[in-house]
Structure 1
Amino acid sequence: MAKTDATMSLEGKTILITGGAGILGRQVVQRLLGAGARVAIVDQSPEARAALEAVLADPALGIAAADWQIHSTDITDLDALKALKTTLDGSWGEINVLINNAAAKSPNFFAPFAEFPRFDWDSVMAVNVTGAMQCCQVFGQAMADRGRGSIINTLSVYGIVAPDQRIYEGSEYEGRAINTPAIYSASKAALWGLTKYLSSYWGAQNVRVNAVTPGGIYSGQNETFQQRYGARVPLGRMAQGEELPGAFIYLASDAASYVTGQNICVDGGLTVW
């Protein structure tokens, strides 16, 4: 009996991931490449792109330069996405898997709800929901036309349950007081709705549309936040970045060939309470 399941391999698959140089994205990218995929990475942050490029180019990792590309495409610009598709079609051919992972913050992201500016609301929604929708229009419709493909949307526990406001008193991230704003919950909930809709819309065309819901990932939060968040989680702690990519690999692979319209919560059990 084989020691590994060949259906979990991503050999021969070409994957596009937005927000691919962020805290979660860079972990997912490295694991996708390790599973044999070619990966086109989209990210708007020059600093994050440069940092990821330096990691992927490290000879010690043994990642072939021909297996990855990094683009700065604005996913809120439909024409820019169409141009990206033309570029990728010319260099790599069809995209087999789309991962909508991009998520935006705004200048007043942590402002109280009653004072949250409409501009900030619209700018975050433009990336988190409209940008994902446009990626699905451009790349998902092409999958439907071919009769195969997988779309994976990155959600949040706070798109399916409400944040416990009590954990934020005294909580900081890199020295700044934090909270979870309503726009983040609303946008991620909307993306879950889009996930379910498209799983039905394109099911007959053999395009699978699923979601991954990460729990809180440790990335520099202070001890107060870690303790209070961990107390709300059955496993008693925040996630480490490397614990999330497995769900994406599964949904991208042929092992999930009969899975659509589903949401895999990788949250340490937070959403069971």
Structure 2
Amino acid sequence: MSVDYRHLFDLHGRVAIVTGGLGILGDHFCRALAAYGAHVVVADLDGEAAARRADELGEATGVTCAGRGCDVADPASVDALVAYTVERFGGIDILHNNAASKSDDLPAFFAPVEDYSLSEWRKIMAVNLDGVFLVSRAVGRRMIDQGRGGSIVHTGSIYGQLGADARIYDGSEYLGQTINTPPVYAASKAGVAGLARYLATAWAAHGIRVNTLVSGGVRSGQNAAFVERYAQRVPLGRMGEADDLVGALLYLASDASRYVTGQCLFVDGGLSAW
């Protein structure tokens, strides 16, 4: 007797929130979840742009999506996002904590660790780690009340798991700015993975799974010097593309990973294997 496993990735009827839904990765994640049938709430700072993108998703996929403005560092804004989603769609089944800040002050963001300002540190942490906690807390509370479990996925980074290789950054730029791996980025992404493991055990009895999608470097405006040096560091010989992460998210969000929780799934071209 043959068994059809294709249904494991089917998300029809489920409701997903994606924070940072308008970002470089977020847009791809929203499209993938909607393509597999989920009602996606695109959450980002720009509520009007999020609503427009949600309308486009709905037209392209045939499922109802919605956009909502949300500042993940603001508890009231987070609570309003959850309330809106429940009122609009009746519940929440999937949360993708994808929002992260690259700062509005790139020189301060990429400052050497010995000169890093506490104000910049706290500004980035407010989004990258506090925001993940606040949204997880609000959605987790709702999932517990619903009593039907759920999947929470955090976007992590190899730099939350591995030390940065400074040799990659010699002569490297991003949007014209000399770059490195900021200490606050590494610390915040390490915190995201630690929080996921904590929540995975705390909420397992409620059927809520919590995992971290650990991304390698994704091409998004870095100069040629960086792209070349990074590719030399990766067994598969190239930087990642945003689409490379989509399959892993679908796996973690769906029943295909129903016995997976508290894990870091590396999508890094093998960089962490060397």
Q: Distance in 2 between matches of 1:129 and 1:85?
A: 18
1:63 to 52, 61, 64: 61
Distance apart, 1:2 and its partner CA: 6.8
Identity level (%): 42
Q: Distance in 1 between matches of 2:50 and 2:222?
A: 21
Q: Distance in 2 between matches of 1:2 and 1:220?
A: 44
CA shift in 2, pair 1:56/1:162, >3 Å: farther
How many residue pairs end up in the alignment? 269
Conservation of the 8 A alpha-carbon contact between 2:51 and 2:66: no
Distance apart, 1:76 and its partner CA: 1.2
Q: Tell me the alpha carbon deviations over residues 64-116 of structure 1, each in whole angstroms, 9 at most, x when there is no partner.
A: 4x622111211111122112222211111111011100111222111111111
Q: Distance in 1 between matches of 2:154 and 2:183?
A: 19
1:84 to 76, 81, 85: 81
Which residue does the alignment assign to 1:50? 49
Distance apart, 1:175 and its partner CA: 2.2
What is the TM-score when the length of structure 2 is the normalising length?
0.92
Which residue does the alignment assign to 2:170? 169
2:92 to 70, 91, 95: 95
Which residue does the alignment assign to 1:34? 35
Q: Superposed, which structure 2 residues align to 1:203-222 within 5 Å?
A: 203-222=204-223
Q: Distance in 2 between matches of 1:133 and 1:216?
A: 24
Conservation of the 8 A alpha-carbon contact between 2:164 and 2:181: yes
When the two chains are superposed, the root-mean-square deviation of aligned CA atoms in Å is: 1.9
- What amino acid is the match of 1:170? G
Q: Tell me the alpha carbon deviations over residues 208-240 of structure 1, each in whole angstroms, 9 at most, x when there is no partner.
A: 001101111111211111110011111011011
Higher mean alpha-carbon deviation, 23-32 vs 171-180, is at 171-180
Conservation of the 8 A alpha-carbon contact between 2:18 and 2:41: yes
CA shift in 2, pair 1:257/1:3, >3 Å: closer
Are 2:107 and 1:110 aligned? no
Which residue does the alignment assign to 1:137? 137
2:72 to 60, 70, 75: 75
- What amino acid is the match of 1:193? G
- What amino acid is the match of 1:50? A
Q: Tell me the alpha carbon deviations over residues 131-188 of structure 1, each in whole angstroms, 9 at most, x when there is no partner.
A: 1101111111211233311110000000000110111111112222111100000000
Q: For residue 154 of structure 1, give the secondary structure of its aligned residue in structure 2.
A: strand
Distance apart, 1:53 and its partner CA: 3.2
What is the TM-score when the length of structure 1 is the normalising length?
0.93
Q: Distance in 2 between matches of 1:252 and 1:58?
A: 18
Conservation of the 8 A alpha-carbon contact between 1:210 and 1:261: yes
Q: Which runs of 5+ in 2 are unaligned?
A: none
Q: Superposed, which structure 2 residues align to 1:234-245 within 5 Å?
A: 234-245=235-246
Q: For residue 136 of structure 1, give the secondary structure of its aligned residue in structure 2.
A: helix
Q: Distance in 1 between matches of 2:60 and 2:167?
A: 45
Conservation of the 8 A alpha-carbon contact between 2:73 and 2:126: yes
Conservation of the 8 A alpha-carbon contact between 1:145 and 1:205: no
Q: Distance in 2 between matches of 1:56 and 1:218?
A: 27
Q: Tell me the alpha carbon deviations over residues 38-71 of structure 1, each in whole angstroms, 9 at most, x when there is no partner.
A: 100111257xx73893596289x6234x622111
Higher mean alpha-carbon deviation, 193-202 vs 111-120, is at 111-120
Distance apart, 1:268 and its partner CA: 0.2
